[in-house]
Amino acid sequence: MRAVLLVAGWMLALTVLARARGPIVLFVFGFVAAAVFYPLVVRLRRRMPTWVAVVVVSVLVAVVVGLVGVRIYDEVNAQITTFATSIDESVAQLEASSRYGDIVERLDLRSRVEQFTSGLREDMAIDGSRLTELAPTLATLSADVFVIWLFAVMLLASGPQFVRSFVALFPSPVTQRRVGHVIRVAHGRSAAFLGFMALRAVGWFALVYLVALVLDLRVPTSLALVVGLLSFIPRFGVVIGALPVAVVAALRSPDLVIPVLVVAVGLQALDATFLQRRIEARSVAVGSLPLLVSAMLGWAVEGTRGLLLGVVAAVFLIAVVDESLAIRDGEVPDPGAGLASASVGSPKAREAPVVVEPTPTDVESGAVSVSTGPAVLESAPPVA
C-alpha cells in the first residue's frame, strides 16, 4: 500500500509540474536574472535605498536592451535584404555563365533560391499585415517579460532570506555553514564566468564586425552576432562561427574561404590558450561538453528559453561541484570545521549521559553507576 501511494504521489507531482511548466520557467528566469544583477544592486544600495537601486538597475537594463535590440534589428533587417539580393544576383550570374549554366538549370537552382530569398524578406519585413500576425506573439512575449521582471524584483528584495531559509532546512549547523558557503561561492564564480564570457562575446562581435566591413561582406552584423553567441562555447565556438563567415566570403571571392578558416583556427587557439584560461582562473572551469549537453537538453525541453537556462544551470552546478570537492580535498578551508570541533567539545556533548553497564558488585549492592561528566552514583531499588 505504501509503494502504491508513493508512486501515485510522484505521478501527481509530475503532472502538476508538467501543467505548471510555463510559470515555473518564468520564475526560474526571474531567479536567474535576480542572481545575475544582485551584485550590482548590492553595490548601488551602499549609496541609496534598496528599492531605488532595484529601480535604477531595472531602468538601466531596459534601456540598454531596448536600444541595442532596436539597433541590431534595423541592421540585420537591412543586411538580410541586401544579402538576399546578392544571392539572387550570384545565381543569375552562374546561370548566365557557360561553365555552370547547365548545372544551375538541371538543379532548378534559380527557382529554389528565389523561394528561399523571398522567405527571408518576408520573415524580416514588418508591415501592417505582418504586425497583425505577430500581435498575439508580441503580446505573449511582453507579458512573459513583465512577469520575469516582477519575479526578479521580488527576489532581489527577498532573495537572501530565501537562500537562508533553504539553508536552514538542513538539521546540522555544520551542514548549514557548508551549504551556505558553497552556494555563496558558486554564485559568485558562476556570475563571474558568465560576465567574463559576455564581455569576450562583445569583443568577438566587434572584431568580426570590423573584419566583415574591411572585407566588404554583405551581412557584417549578422555574422558578428553568430560568432559572438557561439563564442560562449569554449575552445571551438569561434571556429564553428567562422563557417558562415567563410560561406558569405565565398559569395564575394572564393579565394577568401581558406584564409578565413585558417585565421579563425589560429584566433581560437590563442583564445583558448590565453583568454579562456584567465577567465577560468578567475571564475570556474567549464568544459565545452557540459555546456553543449545542457544547451541541447534545454532546447529540447523549452526552446530558446530552455537553452539559456540550461547553460546557466550547467555553469552553476559545475561551480557547486568544484567548490564542494575543494572543501572535501582540503584545497580550501572547511567552513564547518570550527562548528564541528566546537560541537564535539561543547558542554552539551560533555554532559551527554553515558550509560555504563552495571557490574555484579553494583547489582548486589543495589546501585547502578551512571556518569554525566563527573562521576555520579544514583540509587536504585535493591535487586531481589
Distance, in Å, from the CA atom of 86 to the CA atom of 2, rounded to the nearest integer, reads 69
- Indicate if 194 and 148 belong to the same structural domain: no
- Indicate if 150 and 203 belong to the same structural domain: no
Burial grade of 8 (CB within 10 A; 0-12, 13-18, 19 or more): exposed
Model confidence over 218-264: pLDDT tens digits? Answer: 788 888 988 998 898 888 889 999 998 988 888 777 788 898 999 99
- Indicate if 108 and 206 belong to the same structural domain: no
- Indicate if 176 and 268 belong to the same structural domain: yes
The pLDDT of residue 205: 92
- For residue 1, being part of any structural domain is answered with no
- For residue 92, being part of any structural domain is answered with yes
Residue 89 has pLDDT above 60, yes or no: yes
Q: Which of 113, 28, 34, 74 is nearest to 306 (CA)?
A: 28
- Indicate if 75 and 107 belong to the same structural domain: yes
- For residue 36, being part of any structural domain is answered with yes
- For residue 279, being part of any structural domain is answered with yes
Q: Pick from 77-81, 159-163, 291-295 the range whose average pLDDT is largest.
A: 291-295
Contact yes or no for 158/252 (Cβ under 8 A):
no
- For residue 14, being part of any structural domain is answered with no
- For residue 364, being part of any structural domain is answered with no
- Indicate if 122 and 202 belong to the same structural domain: no
What is the residue range of 314's domain? Answer: 171-335
Distance, in Å, from the CA atom of 239 to the CA atom of 230, rounded to the nearest integer, reads 9
Number of structural domains (the chain) is 2
The pLDDT of residue 266: 93
Q: Which of 313, 335, 357 is the last residue of a domain?
A: 335
Percent of the chain having pLDDT more than 70? 84
Bridge-based pairing of strands 367-371 and 354-355 is antiparallel
Lowest mean pLDDT among 65-79, 215-229, 334-348: 334-348
Predicted confidence band at 125 (pLDDT cuts at 50, 70, 90)? low
Q: Pick from 9-13, 158-162, 169-173 the range whose average pLDDT is largest.
A: 169-173
- Indicate if 269 and 214 belong to the same structural domain: yes
- Indicate if 236 and 191 belong to the same structural domain: yes
- Indicate if 207 and 300 belong to the same structural domain: yes
- For residue 194, being part of any structural domain is answered with yes
Residue 94 has pLDDT above 80, yes or no: no
- Indicate if 145 and 267 belong to the same structural domain: no
Residue 354 has pLDDT above 60, yes or no: no
Lowest mean pLDDT among 16-20, 26-30, 249-253, 295-299: 16-20
- Indicate if 55 and 76 belong to the same structural domain: yes
Q: In 10 A of CB 278, how many CB atoms?
A: 10
- Indicate if 118 and 76 belong to the same structural domain: yes
- For residue 236, being part of any structural domain is answered with yes
